[in-house]
Amino acid sequence: MPAARERGTYNMQEKKASPSGEGLQNLLMLDRSGDFSEPDILYPFALEELLCRYVGEGGPPLIHMWRHPRAFVMGLRDSRLSSAAEASRSLEQAGYSVAVRNSGGAAVPLDLGVVNVSLIGRKPAGRIDFHDDFERMYELIALALQEAGGAVAKGEIEGAYCPGDFDLSIGGRKFCGIAQRRQQHAYVVQAFVVVEGSGAEKAALARSFYELAAAGSADAVYPQVREESMASLTELLGTGFARSVQPDGPESLAAGNADPAGPPDEGRSTGGLRPGDTAASGPTPAQTFIDAVKRVVRDRQTPDGLTDASAKLWLPDPAEVRAMAQRMRERYGL
* Residue 250 identity (one-letter amino acid): P
Among the listed residues 65, 61, 180, 59, the one whose alpha carbon sits nearest the alpha carbon of residue 117: 65
**To which H or E segment does residue 85 belong?**
helix 84-93
Catalytic residue among 162, 194, 213, 293: 162
In angstroms, how far is CA 90 from the centroid of its own chain? Answer: 25
Question: Quick check: 34 and 314 in contact, CB under 8 A?
Answer: no
**To which H or E segment does residue 144 belong?**
helix 131-144
Phi first, then psi: what are they for 190, rounded to 5°? -115, 135
Angle between helices 199-213 and 84-93 (to 10 degrees): 130
Beta bridge partners of 74: 100
162 is catalytic: yes
Q: How far apart are the first and last CA of the chain?
A: 36
Angle between helices 318-332 and 42-56 (to 10 degrees): 110
**In angstroms, rounded to a whole number, what is the distance separating the alpha carbons of residues 309 and 300?**
14
* Residue 202 identity (one-letter amino acid): K
Catalytic positions are 162
